[in-house]
Chains A and B, each alone.
Chain A
Amino acid sequence: MTWTMAQRQRLALENQILQNEGFTQFGVFHHPADDTYSAGGTATTSVGRNYHVFCMIPPSYPTQRPSLYITDPNPLLNFNGVAISRLGVSHAMHTLEPNTLGWVQICHWRADRWHAGIVLQKVFLKAMLWLEAYEQHLATGRDLADFVRTMQEAA
């Protein structure tokens, strides 16, 4: 994989936006060993719990949508104590295909709604919203979709 200059510049800019706009718990990272990029960090919800979110920057970013996972805790359990990753693609939980390690994939933008104009700052903001909805789900047992109904539509 060779990254174009425009891609590298964009990722540097995206990181600076995260740092300047109060998303310092997140960052964009370069992995020199194999010249790949990732983004992620530890999000803290309003009830004080920590979740680690992570995404590999895909080679056709930003045209290609990045997949965002919750890597810790793992497994991530639902209200009934079932691993959410076992639910697969779920509208009720606003999740997409989990990865092979069992990480839950958050539905930030569906692939059919994603476009290159969306920045990582907004992706992480969606992740924070998802985690707040997840906390509500744990507290009430209601579907996550009840709390983030408009997530896929919002631009």
Chain B
Amino acid sequence: MSDQRSMIRDAMQAIAQRKPGKSKLVYDKTKRTIVAVSEGVPTPQALNITADDADMFGVVTLSSGWLRDKWSSLTKAGSLPVGFSSWDDGDALTQLELCIQGSGTHAAATLVLGQQQGQASEGIVISIVPTDKPTHRSDVFVSPDNIAYRGELIEPAGPAANPRDVVFADIEPQLDLRRAGILETTVLKDRTVLCIGLGTGGALVAVELAKSGVGHFILVDRDRLSVGNVVRHPGGISQVGRTKVNVTRNLILEKNPGAQVEVHVMDVGFENRDVLAGLVQASDLVICGTDNRQSKLLINELCVSADKPAVYGGAFRRAYGGQILRVRPKQSPCQQCFVSSLPDEASDVEVSSQDDADAIAYSDRPVAVEPGLSLDVLPIATQLAKLAMLELLADKSSTLNVLKRDFDAPWYLWLNRPEPGTQYADMPPLSESRDEMTINRWYGIYFERDEQCPVCGDFLSGLAAAYGLDSTQLPALPEKE
């Protein structure tokens, strides 16, 4: 009987982890019950059970890293207190040390090395006992002295009341493993990304980069998350009132707990120029998701002078489309080159907050707040994140390298709909077009860097030449009191 129970448990874990196990679960039509049978045993009268059918036991998750750190204390004292965040009426107990954001309900437990002796104490007890199970399993912990252990749960109400598995979360190796196939490198761990502007697009990009394994973030934004933001921003209702940098920091840590995240609640303006210059200097890549021209041009100037690549992204008004500009200083056009050569494109921005509206309005001529749908911002954010990844991987070999051929233009354009009143209003339907522009496609667009750009080129000689002046032979300026 207990043999059948442990076989069921093994089979369920195998199903849940999408891995072959020693046994499989079937529904026995004659017994009208679920049984575990050894793999390879034919079961003509039974229905195979898949991962989708399987219901997991409750799970207690312990931090492997924490346990390794505390191992000598545990072996000395024999037991240690451990705290959990209790989720879904106790269905999942997650060790507090793993939680970036807790459930609000705490459960206390005692970790005991070896079998529990004598009377069971108050509350939950987890016995850590040696095992001969293979060490790659998530329910096996390998101690610093290289012995395999498993956890056994003893609850006051008795073991049958609320069956739970004890699993060990070893975060870094487990997350790295999932990324290894496509990136073939852990170089992103050492990369620092400066994310300026953490509205919907900026926050989405930051979280995507965290998932991909970027290890260092510097976040800059001055705003707090408002209720109105929640329909678009990855931050939720529980986070309303917090600064967007702190909300995003938690979202990043939820995806990459090992990441280092520095936050600055700060306006992206000329008054903070020196601080911003320092942050640019400290980063490998700058992602600018602000939606006003002055902040983009300020960041552009700082990035060009520090020789740091930058990616600028934004939605058009009501997010009918969006664009991305990638700047490799002195190699590709910069934001100033963009503004000079394509002034209309550069100024079509989404007005997603009252501050944005105020910035472009006269007080007797208000501008409406017209944010777009989250759905329409997402494609821009994902493309921006991908371009950012390519910059961060630089010359490192990865499966993504083949994309460098496709993403070699400086400017990317995306249209969500044929917005009336724009040059895209008369685009053919997606289903009919072969050569003309349509919605839902990325366009990589080439334009020339301005050799006489005031930011990335030699503006002064060009200007002097245009006015027939010799810029090296100018008289000193008149002086005034």
Contacts and interface: CB of A to CB of B under 8 A. Distances in A.
Interface of A: 6, 9-13, 15-17, 20-21, 27-33, 37-38, 58-60, 62-65, 88-92, 110-117, 119, 155
Contacts of A10: 459-460
**Top 8 nearest A-B pairs by Cβ distance?**
A91-B362, A116-B454, A91-B365, A12-B474, A30-B477, A29-B480, A89-B363, A60-B270
Interface residues on B, range: 35 or more
B469 A117 contact: no
B270 A59 contact: yes
B364 A28 contact: no
Nearest to A40: B480
A37 to B, nearest CB: 8
Contact of A116 (B297, B464, B468, B481): B297
Contacts of A60: 270, 273, 298, 301
Contacts of A114: 293-294
B429 to A, nearest CB: 33
Given A31-B479, A91-B362, 4 more contacts: A21-B467, A31-B480, A110-B360, A115-B339
A63 B478 contact: no
B326 to A, nearest CB: 19
B336 A29 contact: no
B353 to A, nearest CB: 14
Given A9-B460, A12-B477, A28-B477, A117 B293 contact: no
Nearest to A14: B463
A112 to B, nearest CB: 5
A113 B347 CA distance: 8
A16 B479 contact: no
A116 B336 contact: yes
Interface in B242-301: 270, 273, 292-294, 297-298, 300-301
Interface of B: 270, 273, 292-294, 297-298, 300-301, 336, 339-340, 343, 347, 359-360, 362-365, 453-455, 459-460, 463-464, 467-469, 471, 474-481
Given A12-B474, A13-B474, A30-B480, A91 B364 contact: yes
A67 to B, nearest CB: 12
Contacts of A113: 293, 347
Interface centre among B453, B469, B477, B478 (most CB of A within 10 A): B477
Contacts of B297: 63, 115-116
Nearest to B478: A29
B467 A63 contact: no
A13 B365 contact: no
Given A111-B359, A112-B347, A115-B336, A92 B364 contact: yes
B460 A31 contact: no
A113 B340 CA distance: 11
A16 B270 contact: no
A63 B336 CA distance: 9
A110 B361 CA distance: 10
